[in-house]
Amino acid sequence: AETAMSFMPAELDLDALRAAARCCQACPLHGPATQTVFGQGSPDARLMVIGEQPGDREDIVGQPFVGPAGKLLDEAFRHAGIDRSEIYITNVVKHFKFVETESTGALTGAPHRLHKKPDSREIFACRPWLEAEIAAIRPAAIVCLGATAAQALFGRDFRITRRRGDVIPTEWCMRTLATWHPAAILRMTDEVRREQMLQQLRQDLSTFAIRD
Ligand code: URA
Ligand code: SF4
């Protein structure tokens, strides 16, 4: 089977990478998904934010973090004084993974697409794209949202519950931290805990806010 490397362009140029990733078939996720959702933002970005994988909305629009989790994240960026136009935002896995459920949407009549977590093979298959993005941007700081992104950079033993918010050097970037995934905050049913996680997300993001 072809790996992502066989789709990789020779140059580490974001537009070339994005165009090449459109054709990637290195894992089965490209089949049912609408399109590759590549990272978005300035090649000069000093801050890179990494999520897990596109959701239903992202799959349709073709851009990362434009659905409910993205709305919460945008709000947290505003609180932290971070302008989304100045950062680069991407995901560990570039295609939406889902199962179609029996129930259909009340308005569209289309089957509901239930998000599924990417497995280790899919994460491994997609890794060259993430590494190419990091190499092209060479960010001064990286924020990992959730365990999938955190473990992609810090290794499989990393636990967000233990080291959330700590700035830790990695081979990718000297200033890397992991924090809550906005979708995990949305899923939290305990209101007090949810509010605390939201505050922590804002606080962790503000670690890397550019202030003059
Ligand atoms: N969740 C993610 O991890 N990434 C997105 O782009 C959207 C939701
Ligand atoms: Fe390629 Fe990643 Fe999509 Fe798999 S998820 S087909 S590796 S771009």
Confidence of residue 112 (pLDDT cuts 50, 70, 90): confident
User: Residue 134 in contact with residue 165, Cβ under 8 Å?
Assistant: no
Model pTM score: 0.95
Both ends of the chain: CA-CA distance in Å? 50
Predicted local distance difference test score (pLDDT) of residue 102: 75
**Ligand 2 contacts CB of residue 20 (under 6 A):** no
Mean pLDDT of the residues in the chain? 95
Who wins on pLDDT, 212 or 159? 159
Q: Is the CB of 63 under 6 A from ligand 2?
A: no
Is the per-residue pLDDT at 115 higher than 80? yes
Q: Tell me, what's the pLDDT at 68?
A: 97
Judged against a pLDDT cut of 80, whether residue 209 lies above it is answered with yes
Q: Is 55 in the pocket of ligand 1 (CB under 6 A)?
A: yes
Q: At what angle do helices 120-137 and 146-154 cross, to 10 degrees?
A: 70
- Structure confidence at residue 105 as a pLDDT band (50, 70, 90): low
Rounded CA-CA distance 118/124 in Å is 10
Please report the atom of ligand 1 found closest to the CA of residue 65: 6
DSSP secondary structure, 86-112, as one string: GSEEEESS-S--EEEEEEE-TTT-PEE
Closest CA to 88 of 151, 122, 40, 120: 40
Buried b (16+ CB within 10 A) or exposed e, 94-107: bbbbbeeeeeeeee
Asked if the interface predicted TM-score (ipTM) of this complex is over 0.90, the answer is: yes
The distance from CA 111 to its chain's CA centroid, rounded to whole angstroms, is: 25
- Ligand 1 centroid distance, CA of 57 (Å): 9
pLDDT the model gives residue 167: 98
**Ligand 1 pocket, 58 CB below 6 A?**
yes
Strand 141-145 relative to strand 176-179: parallel, antiparallel, unpaired? parallel
Task: Tell me, in angstroms, the distance from the centre of ligand 2 to residue 38's CA.
Answer: 10
Atom of ligand 1 minimally distant from the CA of 148 = 3
Using CA atoms, how far apart are residues 179 and 146, in angstroms rounded to an integer?
6
- Kindly list the distances between the CA atom of residue 83 and the CA atoms of 11, 33, 62, 63, 86, in Å, as whole numbers in the listed order: 28, 30, 21, 17, 6
Report which ligand 1 atom has the smallest distance to the Cα of 67.
7
Angle between helix 120-137 and 14-21 (nearest 10): 160
Which of 46, 69, 79 is closest to 206 using CA atoms? 79
d(CA 84, CA 30): 27
d(CA 106, CA 85): 35
- pLDDT tens digits for range 53-80: 999 999 999 999 999 999 999 999 999 9
Pocket probe mutation, ligand 1, options 29, 34, 58, max atoms within 8 Å of Cβ: 58
Atom of ligand 1 nearest to the CA of 149: 3
Q: What is the pLDDT of residue 142?
A: 98
